[in-house]
Amino acid sequence: MKNIMEAPFIREMRKTTANMYRMGWDERNGGNISYLLDESEVGEYLDLNNVLRTIPTGFDASALIGKIFVVTGTGKYFKNIDEDPETNLGIVRIGKDGTTAELLWGYKDGGKFTSEFPAHMMSHIARLSVDPAHRVVMHSHPTYTIAMNTVCAVDENEFTHKLWQSNTEAVVVFPDGVGVLPCMVCGTNEIGIATAEKMKEYRLVVWTNHGIYGTGKDMDEAFGLIETVEKTAQIYMLALGQTVNVIPDKIIQELADLWHQTPKAGILKV
């Protein structure tokens, strides 16, 4: 077997979580990531028949039976993952009953996956139903995104429009817009179900007063989506109350056309 610490997916998790902590998106044990892995690749590093223990999934994940994920642990700090991946990360496979996850590696201190695991898995199911290339669900607490969310109505078209008007990059990076949920109790199946429903239409979903979920075909896409929303939200908040110039809808549409993107319908007035 190859050294698991040299696996590309472990290196990606170490690098990405370190970057997210450095960016200030994931204070303390805030934030979580789940990454759908290729079974054949994992098999180069682990004995897939060696199940260390099983962990209840917290919901019926039958749609993902046999799928393997590397997932950040509950109560774990992103700042510690690079130094000690085996304690702070785990590789799990959804069991044949759909209600348990088989631990193949990690959580060596007896821990388990993030409390948001059901929300992550529900989002994976939703995204895979519309994008077979989907692989990553990333949750974080970016400061300006949360701040902007507190001064805007819980209206995804309005929130998306304000972002598109604030940064020419925005409509190009997320022409599908940003979904927005009202304030809900996190760590519950209810918020997971609501998020997954939004994920059928959006790659990004804001949790009011909490943070954001970003998804993608790889780490770069999910990270880049959140990074662009956060940068744009920062611009919006720095100019709040003093805005004289916003990007006209006509220009937003022309930017989208230039990059062969189709903005979500019903937002632009052109």
Which helix (H) or strand (E) is 28 found in, with range?
Answer: none
Place of tokens 């799990």: 92
169: annotated active-site residue: no
Tokens representing residue 68 in the block? 């393997």
Given the residues 27, 44, 86, 116, select the one marked as catalytic: 116
Place of tokens 């510690």: 80
The secondary structure of residue 115, as a DSSP letter, is: T
Burial class (CB in 10 A: 0-12, 13-18, 19+), 182: exposed
Distance CA 237, CA 242 (A): 10
SS3 71: strand
Distance CA 140, CA 264 (A): 24
Residues with catalytic function: 116
